[in-house]
Amino acid sequence: MRATEMAGGSGDPYYDLFGDWDLIVSSFLTQYGLRIRTKEFETVSWDEFRSLLAGIAPETPLGRVVAIRSETDKNVIRHFSKDQKRIYDEWRAGQAAAVTPETFERQMEQLERMMAQLCG
């Protein structure tokens, strides 16, 4: 599920909450010093989590990947490394696959269960 679908269209269209979860975890630790899988983090509300995620800086693991995925300058893209090109191409290919309403509902239910587990 794309973040924009989850956040009602207000999220960043260049990351996927589920597919990029490890990058999100790493970025929260890098930027905020927060470990998501701890008791301390269980008190964070969904709204606060979304705000923290929206504030992720370009110098974090997620920020670097988002910068690659969102690049539009053809000259910059032409000079991407092999790994950058792979990240860029994989994201573009994934964009072509549309999410059905049924898939969206299943993913929202999964997200609700995850947040319930996180928040107790």
pLDDT tens across the length of the chain (120 residues): 344 434 333 346 899 888 899 999 999 999 999 999 888 888 889 999 999 999 999 999 999 999 999 999 999 999 999 999 999 999 988 875 656 777 778 878 888 888 888 776
HSE (side-chain half, CA atoms, 13 Å) at 87: 21
Q: Which amino acid is at 54?
A: A
The single residue listed with the structure tokens 């107790």 is 120
Give the pLDDT confidence score for residue 8 in this predicted structure.
37
Number of domains into which the chain is organized: 1
In sequence order, what are the residues at sequence separation of 6 or more whose Cβ sits closer than 8 angstroms to the Cβ of residue 36?
24, 25, 28, 29, 118
pLDDT of residue 106: 82
Asked if residue 66 lies in contact with residue 101, where contact means CB atoms within 8 angstroms, the answer is no
Domain of residue 62, residue span: 3-119
pLDDT confidence of residue 97: 67
Quick one: pLDDT at residue 32? 95
